[in-house]
Amino acid sequence: MESPLSSGIPASSENIHARSCHKCNQRKTRCSKTLPCTSCVKLGVECIFPPPGRAPRRKKRALKAELVSRVKYLEHRLHDLGEESKPQTHPSKHELHDASHTEDISPVSDTASHLGSRKDDGAASGAAGPLGQLVNGGEGRQYVEHEALVGFQNEMASSSSRESPTKGPMQSQGPNSSAYMFGFRALAESLHSLHPPPLTSHFFWEIYERNVAPLISILHKPTIHRLVRKAATNAEFLDSSDEALVFAVYFAAVASMKPEDCLQKCKTDHETLIQHYRFATEQALARANFLKTRSLTVLQALVLFLTTLWCAEDGNFIWAMTSVVYRLAQGSGLHRDGSHLGLSPFETEMRRRLWWYIYLLDTQSSEAQAIGRLIYEGSYDTRLPLNVNDSDISPEATKPFTARIGFTEMTFCLIRCEIIIRSRQICGNSRPSLTTRRSSIEETEKNLNEINSFLESGHLRFCDLHVPIQWTAATITRIALARSWLTAHFTLMATGELSTDRWQKRRETLFQTAIDVLEFTHLLETSAETADWIWLFQMYRQWHALVFVLSEICVRPASDAADRAWVIAQLMFQRWQQKGPLKGWVLWKPLLRLFERAATKRAKEQNFLDVEQLERDLQIPALHDSSQISLDWVSQDTGLSSVGQDAVASGIDTSAMDIYREIMQDAGSILDWHHDET
């Protein structure tokens, strides 16, 4: 197969054009008639020449008459509004208070109905929700909710209908403010040479369909497949938005590939391919002017690019760019459900998918940076996507789609979202606050029991554990719930709020659960059945469990449990070392010191283990029943007290709790974000 990097970017053509470029013609300046012309290079804008042939004759418009008509309409409208307001009396404070409550936006998606009542303000009646409307423009639809603008919604609708925006590579977008982030190269030169050959393009689509689409369901596969086929044969006819999305698909495919597959299939090392298609995607996004666009396609490309960019370990950049994505989503009204805005069923569904992956991206980037998130419950009313396959929906549909019962292509996404939503809602972590109230251990166990019951009845009971993606979904659910139970205790340990008595009662269960979390995480990252999705699993490092296990190893006497814990701790830490620390990760140096301390302790005991043999022992069958992960809060086992008494009687000290607290304080971690990672 021909390497996708076999051709470089060609130099600009020096052929002299017969006519001036669009920008020089618009500015009434002399054009050098080269591609790009000197004026466009100085301005840093895209240089576009008209097609050969005679220029079309301009059609004269009665611009003055149109402006006068619009001004008169606005004057008449203002006069009518003034007359309507004169006879009205000022409302009382009580009336104002009641009115303010009737304009509240519905707090969350329909999943909140299981845990609390949802406000119904009649937003679904009419195309515009409470104080909100989508306005058509040249770059797509913009969401506005200012009272003055919504009051003139008829005028805005009529003015937008008179505009006839054009779409395509010949469209002049004016000065491009997006290029400064990724460089101005894309504005002066075509990206055609960066596209892979047709065979490589087809190969990348197959990789995307196998490695990325089962986990990241932002796009409608049948629609995108047609677009990729078009790009493979006629890339020069792609508009800037579609080209950005195609390059984002290519980058996602390359990022999900294993290095050995890159060498074998593409004859190029993985790092070079990553750099090539990252550059191409960034230039395509700049060319599409993503900072100003209201195009859903460009936003899809940006979210897909940032979601898969975690493989490049660029967490700081992703965290900063997530705020840009959030503002663009707000500007496009993605935080409002499409059913409130009079949109088609297909567009409504695609907007829901995009919003919830922005939600997941915000959660993941905030967790990595140990800082508060942007999106809180109550700031949106976009419902969760339907539990459907891509074959169940189509752009031509006019009737609402019906959700399936069972495991579909969207179930994995829904499980991830529902774990986070419900954890935030029932654990009191749904709104920003500087003084967060921590739930008690008893409340946390009760809440996690509710989440587990909901997921079991809604999704997990339909999982066939012999199907890799369904086994993966069930296993990740168990890991996420176990991790939430662990971190509820770890937070109290780090702040010194966990009593010694309760610590002794829960210590053995915590230790076994932490080992289970690490072992099943290791299994996900090394099993042959899940090899296509390792790129996603490696983004989520279960450092809470590893820090606790290492803290325990430092103080525990030699035993079978300690040996098992040391083996999995070594395996996890070595994988992290091979991949390298996350950029800006504050916990890496304290974790390194803790691992060295545990290694010294094990060396003194002279209890050397055959790590390779024990690693093979850890390779439990790939489609193993993930229910073996300890979920003691579900079983409500009353034997915890006897476990604690046995631990006290055996003379186990509590110094591990002090070590864990020391590591967390050294890292500057407060762990107030612990419920957000899935």
Q: For position 104, what pLDDT does the model report?
A: 35
pLDDT tens, 193-215? 899 999 999 999 999 999 999 99
Question: Cα(412)–Cα(423) distance, rounded to whole angstroms?
Answer: 17
Q: How many Cβ atoms sit within 10 Å of the Cβ of residue 457? A: 10
User: With pLDDT > 70 as the criterion, what percentage of the chain qualifies?
Assistant: 63
pLDDT at 579 over 80: no
Q: What are the backbone dihedrals phi and psi of residue 133, each rounded to the nearest 5 degrees, phi first?
A: -155, 145
Which two tokens mark 135?
């306005």
pLDDT tens, 483-533? 888 877 777 666 666 666 666 777 888 889 999 999 999 999 888 889 999
Q: For position 606, what pLDDT does the model report?
A: 60
Residue at a domain's end among 358, 389, 420: 389
Q: For position 172, what pLDDT does the model report?
A: 43
Domain contains 236? yes
pLDDT at 482 over 90: no
Q: For position 105, what pLDDT does the model report?
A: 32
- Total residues belonging to the chain: 678
More reliable by pLDDT, 170 or 554: 554
More reliable by pLDDT, 303 or 613: 303
Q: For position 458, what pLDDT does the model report?
A: 86
The whole-number average pLDDT for the span 563-568 is: 91
The whole-number average pLDDT for the span 146-171 is: 47
Domain contains 493? yes
Q: DSSP string spanning 149-179?
A: HHHTHHHHHHHHHH-----STT----S-SSH
Residue at a domain's end among 362, 389, 416: 389
Question: Cα(644)–Cα(649) distance, rounded to whole angstroms?
Answer: 9
Q: Please name the amino acid found at residue 448.
A: L
Residues whose CB is less than 8 angstroms from the CB of residue 64 and which lie 6 or more positions away in sequence, other chains included: none
Domain contains 503? yes
The whole-number average pLDDT for the span 47-76 is: 72
Domain contains 115? no
The DSSP H or E segment spanning 366 is helix 345-369
Domain contains 371? yes
Strands 133-137 and 140-144 come out as antiparallel
Q: Answer positive or negative: Cα dihedral of 258, 263, 266, 270.
A: positive
492 and 385, same structural domain? no
Q: What are the backbone dihedrals phi and psi of residue 142, each rounded to the nearest 5 degrees, phi first?
A: -110, 140
Domain contains 599? yes
Select from 419, 392, 418, 417 the least CA-distant residue to 404.
392
Least confident of 63-72, 92-101, 354-363, 518-527: 92-101
Q: For position 433, what pLDDT does the model report?
A: 54
Contact, 423 vs 439, CB < 8 A?
A: no
Residue at a domain's end among 347, 370, 389: 389
Distances (CA, A) of 540 to 479, 585, 677: 11, 13, 8
Q: What are the backbone dihedrals phi and psi of residue 106, each rounded to the nearest 5 degrees, phi first?
A: -55, 135
Structure pTM?
Answer: 0.71
Q: What are the backbone dihedrals phi and psi of residue 646, each rounded to the nearest 5 degrees, phi first?
A: -65, -40
Question: Cα(637)–Cα(626) distance, rounded to whole angstroms?
Answer: 19
pLDDT at 385 over 90: yes
Q: How many Cβ atoms sit within 10 Å of the Cβ of residue 161? A: 9
Question: Cα(312)–Cα(463) distance, rounded to whole angstroms?
Answer: 32
Within 13 Å, how many C-alpha atoms sit on residue 31's CB side?
A: 23
pLDDT tens, 634-675? 443 322 233 233 333 334 344 555 555 555 555 454 334 344
497 and 371, same structural domain? no
Phi/psi class of residue 524: alpha, beta or left (left: φ > 0; alpha: ψ in -120 to 50)? alpha
The whole-number average pLDDT for the span 375-400 is: 92
Domain of residue 266: give its range.
179-389
Select from 537, 527, 604, 536 the least CA-distant residue to 566.
604
Q: Among the residues of 427-559, which ranges form H helices?
A: 441-458, 468-495, 500-526, 534-537, 543-553
307 and 186, same structural domain? yes
Least confident of 53-62, 84-93, 366-375, 596-605: 84-93
Return the C-alpha torsion angle 41, 46, 50, 55, nearest 10. -80
Contact, 514 vs 659, CB < 8 A?
A: no
The whole-number average pLDDT for the span 263-291 is: 91
More reliable by pLDDT, 630 or 553: 553
385 and 247, same structural domain? yes
Question: SS3 of 24, please?
Answer: helix
Domain count, the chain: 2
Angle ∠(655,656,658) on CA atoms, nearest 5 = 65
Q: What average pLDDT is seen over the chain?
A: 74
518 and 371, same structural domain? no
pLDDT at 632 over 80: no
524 and 376, same structural domain? no
Least confident of 333-347, 589-603, 636-650: 636-650
Q: For position 86, what pLDDT does the model report?
A: 57
DSSP-derived secondary structure letter, 581: P
Within 13 Å, how many C-alpha atoms sit on residue 532's CB side?
A: 16
The residue behind tokens 């409550």 is 101
Question: Cα(40)–Cα(11) distance, rounded to whole angstroms?
Answer: 16
Domain contains 636? yes
Q: What are the backbone dihedrals phi and psi of residue 143, each rounded to the nearest 5 degrees, phi first?
A: -90, 130
498 and 383, same structural domain? no
The whole-number average pLDDT for the span 246-257 is: 96
pLDDT at 17 over 50: yes
The residue behind tokens 């996890």 is 572
Contact, 535 vs 255, CB < 8 A?
A: yes
Domain contains 474? no
382 and 491, same structural domain? no
Q: Answer positive or negative: Cα dihedral of 218, 219, 220, 222.
A: negative
379 and 260, same structural domain? yes
